[in-house]
Structure formats: structure tokens, C-alpha cells
A and B are shown apart, each in its own frame.
Chain A
Amino acid sequence: DVKVTQSSRYLVKRTGEKVFLECVQDMDHENMFWYRQDPGLGLRLIYFSYDVKMKEKGDIPEGYSVSREKKERFSLILESASTNQTSMYLCASSPQDSSGELFFGEGSRLTVL
């Protein structure tokens, strides 16, 4: 069974704080993704990575950065959290083949006060 683990299920941070969201997958997948989920907006892609140290912007990268130093780990960084970044963050991974299936983590619900 593929396992994608997000380190924190719930976080509460203050405006201006630096926030790290960690994601680890155990299936040796090449591709990893960070999505943001908001009611009525679905899942929107923030960043993705197709290899170690490689990253590409998704549809809403502003205010976020990512790090992929090891194949199994993909981190999302909010350099200076703002209230409009209060959301559910979902990490996902997939193998390099073209099957298309994404395997999601349980999500990290971030509240910025």
C-alpha cells in the first residue's frame, strides 16, 4: 500500500510566521505535488517536483516555495504566512509512468491568525 504521510494534521500559526509543511512517501515515486483545497475551488496545484532538487510552479505558487532534497520528501514553505493562506494542504505523489493516478496524504489544515 502506498503511503503518503504529512507531518502535521493541524497547525495554527500567526501572520508573518514561517511555516513548514512536510510530506514523505514510501513508494519511491518520482513525482510529488502540493495542492491547496478550498471549498468551492477544488484542488489547486501550488508546486510539483519530478525529481530531486527539481521543482516547477503550479497554478498558485505566489507566497509559497518548496524543497526536495531527497526523493521521498517534499516540503512546502510559507515564508511569511498570511491569513489568506488558511486552508487545507494536500500532498500527493505518483510514479514516473503515465498511469496518472495520484496518491494523496491525509492533508494538513493550516489556520493563520
Chain B
Amino acid sequence: GENVEQHPSTLSVQEGDSAVIKCTYSDSASNYFPWYKQELGKRPQLIIDIRSNVGEKKDQRIAVTLNKTAKHFSLHITETQPEDSAVYFCAAIPVGGGYNKLIFGAGTRLAVHP
């Protein structure tokens, strides 16, 4: 079945720096790759997603890139701010994983220091 690996597990940056989180997936037929942000004590929420027919997608300070050949996708946060501190999860929907059955990575704890 699908396996999603996420790196790094923790990331510490200074305010204003960029942060990059990378994920690899095993099922070449996966076609949907969302990113969720979970602030401390809160529920995970979708922040950006990308489908396999697109190589890059941006939304203000966040962007996601997808390399289907290498089977990896990345989250890029520019001009980081303290409110970006959270745990970030990548995910993929495997083949036959209809019903939005997501397989998640292990998560990255991002700390942005003022």
C-alpha cells in the first residue's frame, strides 16, 4: 500500500527565514497531495494541496511543488512568522483510495523563533 515519508521531523528557523518540508510517496498512481497544519491543541486544517497534473501551486507565503518522476512533494514557507509554528502533515491518496482516504506522513514540528 501507499507509504508517505516526511522529513525533517523537527525544524527550527528564525523569523523571516524560509522553511522547507519534504515528503516522498511510494504509489506512483497517487494523484492528490494535501498539506495540513496543526497548531498546538487544535485540529489539523488543510492549508494547501496539489494534484498530479500540476507541478507547483502557490498561496501567498506558502507553496507546494510536486515531482511525479521522483515521487516527492515539498512545502515551502517563505518569510516565516511566529504564527507559522505548528506541526505540518503531508498526505497522499493511494490507488483505490477513494472516499478521500488519506495516508499521512509522520509530521514536522516547525518552530519559528522571533
Contacts and interface: CB of A to CB of B under 8 A. Distances in A.
Contacts, number: 61
A12 interface: no
Nearest to B33: A100
Interface stretch (A42-50, A69-77, A78-86): A42-50
Is the contact region of chain B dominated by helix, strand, or loop, or is it mixed? loop
Interface residues of A, number: 27
A90 B105 CA distance: 15
B74 interface: no
Nearest to A91: B43
Contacts of A104: 43-45
Nearest to A44: B104
A22 interface: no
A106 B43 contact: yes
Contact of B106 (A35, A42, A105): A42
